Amino acid sequence: MKSTSIFILFIILTVIADAQTTDKRSISGFVKDNFGKPIQGATITVQDQHIATSSDVDGYYKLAPADLSNQTILHVTAVGYVAQQRTWNGKYIHDFQLKEDRNAIEEVTVSRFGKTDNERKVAEIKRSGFNVSVIDMNVHANQTANINQILRTAPGVTFREDGGLGSNFVFRINGLDAKIYIDGVPMDNFGSSMSLNNIPVNLVDRIEIYKGVVPAFLGSDALGGAVNIITKQRSRHYLDLSYSHGSFNTHQAALVGMYTNPKNKLSVRTNAFYNYSDNNYTMYSEPQYGVVYEKTVDNKFVPIDKVKRFRDRYYSAMGQIEVGLRDKSWADQFFVGLTYAANNKQNQLGATINAVNGGDWRASQYVMPTISYKKQDFLVNRLFADIYASSSYDVATIRDTALYNYDWSGTWVAGKNPSDVNPQQHEEQNTTNFLARSNFNYDFDDERNHSLNVNYNVNTNNRQTYDRILDYNKSGLPSRMTRHIVGLSWQNQWFNKRLVNNLAIKYYGLDTYKEVDEREFDANHQLLNGSIVSYAKYFNYQGYSFASRYRIFTDGGAKFSAERAYNMPTMNALYGDGQNQIANWDLKPERSDNLNAGFYYNTFLNDDHFINLDIGGFYRLAKDYINTRIVTVDGQSKFQAHNIPGVKLYGAETEIRYGYKDVITATVNASYDKALDNNKYTDETNQEVSLTYGYQIPNRPWIYGNLDIGVAQNDWFEEGSRTQLSWTTHYTHWYYLSDAHLGSLASKNHIPSQNVHSIMLSYSWHRNKYNVSGEVRNLTNERAYDNFRLQKPGRAFYVKLRVSLM
């Protein structure tokens, strides 16, 4: 581990040294608004020369004028902003800060001409009827964080994990199981090495969080919400390299690089990350919350004040390279790629803390070739095609080599008899996955007043499980799952784009198949009875949705959406993961009828202050709500997905954001999220009313909120530097672990209210080229829990170095 860290540091320092040279033939810089937010699509021209460029998603531009003199004038224009001009004055770096043009603000019209795909998508999101919030991950680039830590600060989002880096998690939006996508591709497809809790922030440009109705182009069985992670993609040279080190022997490194040959448009993109942590943090007994860690002394369980997690190491690594062409007559983008990922995760705990594993781990290796194609004016004018296909192969090894369980003191607990040892486990799961996604969007006119979008997504998983210790001929039977999702949507704009609607229908098909060895053998391996039996199920459903946004005034409007949608079970939910989750073949797809409404308002005061207000509410009626329960198998606690026949969910959330120039930002949000048991009768004759009918489903957070304050100072020590201090607080209100109204309150266990504060200080110089930051997470060492007795890491310190070369 130490040698790896030194190597990464060496790379960073080498890049820093190389980066000191300045390109004297071109002018470059950033175009930002008054609040420091990059302005994408600003046009930068050199007066009297036919040279122009536009700023990218970072607000970055680069020009190479033919002639430069002190009289050379640079012009910057951007829709909705007051134009600026400046003489060259001998400086090769020119940053612009444009003020909003309050008289000119109108709905940004996104022409299909001359816009990048990224711009087009951002604008689509802005004007759509979908309830979507976008997190700019570049703001968080200096944090030692994975996506989950940022994502959980969004209103309506809960992210429950059972430990430190790489731990298992449950992610929900407004109470429902949300689907996660990477660049529009379902994350299920990426294997266990890519998940919300191991992708570093540096790989990501932005995160789109959809609540309620999900756009058809995210063609999957999302229900109630989705997250689309947009990775960094630039059409210019770009390199971002970061490394962080911190508590619990945590190392994280990330690399993003892009190169495009300006002549032949050959483009190469690469992403990579590496994560390592011992996760050996301290957990404390808190008897008032029912949290007591114990060890065994003389056949008694006796409490321990504090324990350290052990044998919970985690590492993951991923490398991805894509090579392709841009801006060709036959393709806007055509890339082929290869992703390789690997991880190794020790599994200290099952579903509870009752059994402490000493030799349980899971490792996986994953390879995925991909091909993607994007083209505007595909075959006919105004038809946009986005086609993606991948095939992946994942080999997961699940082993438990410990003969005994451990107690929390870290010592193993022997059985009474020498023969009382745990069975050894060595299982191998080989999973092949094929995904094809095609999306076609046709605009009926240049103003995009009417558009049709059709999306087809097919995803096949085929798993074969081999027991490497037992059952010489019981291995290798297939489990399969194929999902077909077809979506057709019509987007329309009315009243000069004040009203935007999106109507969609969706078809869901789920094909499941498994073979079970029901043969029985005698001691001589002679067949006694039974056979290999095949089981198959097919589900198909139709869903529909309507999303609408009405702009009431320039900076404010209302949104409404309604849908009937389905969520298909995952492979692990149906077939188990071979480790902590056991199979539930009887699991049914979850259906939900959803209503969402929201109001947004943005305003500016004296050009220096902005205030954003978002208020939203939701109502959902879910049938066969998929939840997780703990079951005991051979004395071991495991997770199992199961259906709750009926659940009613409703809630509201609000977020207020304030900014003062590019100096102060403050965000506060609060979410209220109720889920009630909506299944009235427990018997077929409708005589027995369930004790829990109409009451809240326990063991889930229902009030939570976040506070984020940032203060910055520009140009300390040197011009182009930025010092930033940010403070975040995440609040979760207490909740009961069992039904709140049943049994005395004194007899109930609960997760206490928690305030987790974190603070970060970063310093960037050379206009964000070099960054160093220090971070303290959980500053007050709060006892933080998502799951009962599973305390999350306490106070932790991190340092991060980052180089970002444009």
Partner 1 sequence: MKRNRILAYCALAVTVLGSCKDSPNEPDPTDKISTEYSLWVTSSTGSYILTTDDLMKDTLLTPAGNKGIDISGYLPAAYYGVYAYNYQGKFYVSNDGTRFSQLEIQENATMKETNNYAFSSTFYLGKVLTEISSKDELVLTKTAGTYNEAKNVLEQPLYFMNVNDMTLNKTLNVDIPFLKYTPLTPDNKPYIAPYMVPTSFTVRGDKLFVGHKYRGSDGTGNKDILDSTFVYVCDYPSMVNGKLLKDPRGGVVAGHWEVNNTTFLDDNDDLYFLTKKIAPATYGLLRIKAGETEIDKDYFFDLKDYNVFKNTSSSTIQKLGNGKAYISPFVVDPANKKVTADLRILTGGAEPKTTMNLMENGKLYDVFKTDASKWYVYEYDPTTNSVKRGAEIDGGITHVYHVNKLK
Among 282, 690, 714, 723, binds partner 1 (CB under 8 A): 690
Among 449, 637, 721, 781, binds partner 1 (CB under 8 A): 637
Among 24, 25, 416, 525, binds partner 1 (CB under 8 A): 416
Q: Does 338 bind partner 1 (CB under 8 A)?
A: no
Indicate the residue among 120 and 748 with the shorter CB distance to partner 1: 748
At its nearest, how many Å lie between partner 1 and the CB of residue 688? 5
Give the separation between CA 33 and CA 55, rounded to whole angstroms: 12
Residue 656: CB atoms within 10 A of its CB come to: 15
Indicate the residue among 509 and 752 with the shorter CB distance to partner 1: 752
Indicate the residue among 13 and 631 with the shorter CB distance to partner 1: 631
Among 548, 692, 726, 768, binds partner 1 (CB under 8 A): 692
Give the separation between CA 44 and CA 76, rounded to whole angstroms: 5
Q: Which two tokens stand for residue 714?
A: 């520009």
Indicate the residue among 454 and 709 with the shorter CB distance to partner 1: 709
DSSP letters spanning 61-119: EEE--S---TT-EEEEE-TTB--EEEE-TT-SB--EEEPB-TTT--PPP--STT--HHH
**Residue 153 in 3-state DSSP?**
coil
Q: Does 749 bind partner 1 (CB under 8 A)?
A: yes
Classify the phi-psi angles of 330: left when phi > 0, otherwise alpha if psi is within -120 to 50, otherwise beta.
alpha
Q: Does 525 bind partner 1 (CB under 8 A)?
A: no
Indicate the residue among 118 and 667 with the shorter CB distance to partner 1: 667
At its nearest, how many Å lie between partner 1 and the CB of residue 650? 21
Q: Does 646 bind partner 1 (CB under 8 A)?
A: no
At its nearest, how many Å lie between partner 1 and the CB of residue 145? 20
At its nearest, how many Å lie between partner 1 and the CB of residue 734? 6
Among 13, 536, 691, 799, binds partner 1 (CB under 8 A): 691
Q: Does 413 bind partner 1 (CB under 8 A)?
A: yes
Residue with tokens 């449950």: 170
At its nearest, how many Å lie between partner 1 and the CB of residue 225? 25
**Residue 132 in 3-state DSSP?**
strand
At its nearest, how many Å lie between partner 1 and the CB of residue 275? 31
Among 358, 487, 705, 794, binds partner 1 (CB under 8 A): 705
Q: Does 369 bind partner 1 (CB under 8 A)?
A: no
Among 70, 687, 717, 718, binds partner 1 (CB under 8 A): 687
Question: First vs last Cα of the chain: how many Å apart?
Answer: 30
Query: Using CB under 8 A as the criterion, what x/- string covers residues 533-572 for binding partner 1?
Result: ----------------------------------------
Indicate the residue among 343 and 669 with the shorter CB distance to partner 1: 669
At its nearest, how many Å lie between partner 1 and the CB of residue 611? 12
Q: What are phi and psi of 573, to 5 degrees?
A: -65, -40
Give the separation between CA 316 and CA 344, rounded to whole angstroms: 6
What would the 3-class secondary structure string for 455-474 be? EEEEEEEEEEEEECCCCCCC
Q: Does 718 bind partner 1 (CB under 8 A)?
A: no
Query: Using CB under 8 A as the criterion, what x/- string covers residues 346-365 for binding partner 1?
Result: --------xx----------
For residues 231, 234, 238 and 243, what is the CA-based torsion angle, rounded to 10 degrees? -10
Count of residues engaged in binding partner 1, rule: CB under 8 A = 71
Q: Does 174 bind partner 1 (CB under 8 A)?
A: no
Q: What are phi and psi of 126, to 5 degrees?
A: -60, -40
Q: Does 698 bind partner 1 (CB under 8 A)?
A: yes
Q: Does 1 bind partner 1 (CB under 8 A)?
A: no
Q: What are phi and psi of 656, to 5 degrees?
A: -120, 130
Among 729, 762, 787, 791, binds partner 1 (CB under 8 A): 729
Task: Mark the segment that binds partner 1 (CB under 8 A) among 316-324, 439-447, 589-597, 701-709.
Answer: 701-709
Indicate the residue among 295 and 313 with the shorter CB distance to partner 1: 295
Residue with tokens 């038809």: 383
At its nearest, how many Å lie between partner 1 and the CB of residue 662? 13
- Residue 272: C-alpha distances to residues 190, 374, 422, 756, 797 (Å): 14, 24, 38, 30, 24
Give the separation between CA 175 and CA 212, rounded to whole angstroms: 11
Contact in structure between 357 and 402 (CB atoms under 8 Å): yes
Give the separation between CA 269 and CA 322, rounded to whole angstroms: 5
Task: Mark the segment that binds partner 1 (CB under 8 A) among 5-13, 204-212, 584-592, 688-696.
Answer: 688-696
Among 105, 711, 759, 776, binds partner 1 (CB under 8 A): 711
Beta-sheet pairing, 43-46 with 73-77 = antiparallel
Among 134, 454, 503, 664, binds partner 1 (CB under 8 A): 664
DSSP letters spanning 336-367: EEEEEEEEEEE--BSSSSSSB-SSEEEEEEEE
- The distance of Cα 569 from the centroid of its chain, to the nearest Å, equals 19
Applying the rule CB under 8 A, the residues between 489 and 518 that interact with partner 1 are: 518
Give the separation between CA 189 and CA 181, rounded to whole angstroms: 9
- The distance of Cα 630 from the centroid of its chain, to the nearest Å, equals 25
Applying the rule CB under 8 A, the residues between 257 and 296 that interact with partner 1 are: 288-290, 296
CA atoms within 13 A on the CB side of 138: 16
Contact in structure between 437 and 388 (CB atoms under 8 Å): yes
At its nearest, how many Å lie between partner 1 and the CB of residue 754? 8
Could you tell me the sign of the dihedral formed by the alpha carbons of 659, 39, 200, 671, in that order? Answer: positive
Indicate the residue among 697 and 803 with the shorter CB distance to partner 1: 697
**Residue 138 in 3-state DSSP?**
helix
Task: Mark the segment that binds partner 1 (CB under 8 A) among 442-450, 571-579, 618-626, 629-637.
Answer: 629-637
Among 365, 391, 723, 755, binds partner 1 (CB under 8 A): 755
Contact in structure between 198 and 672 (CB atoms under 8 Å): no
At its nearest, how many Å lie between partner 1 and the CB of residue 630? 7
Among 19, 105, 458, 663, binds partner 1 (CB under 8 A): 663
Q: Does 304 bind partner 1 (CB under 8 A)?
A: no
Q: Which two tokens stand for residue 355?
A: 């059994």
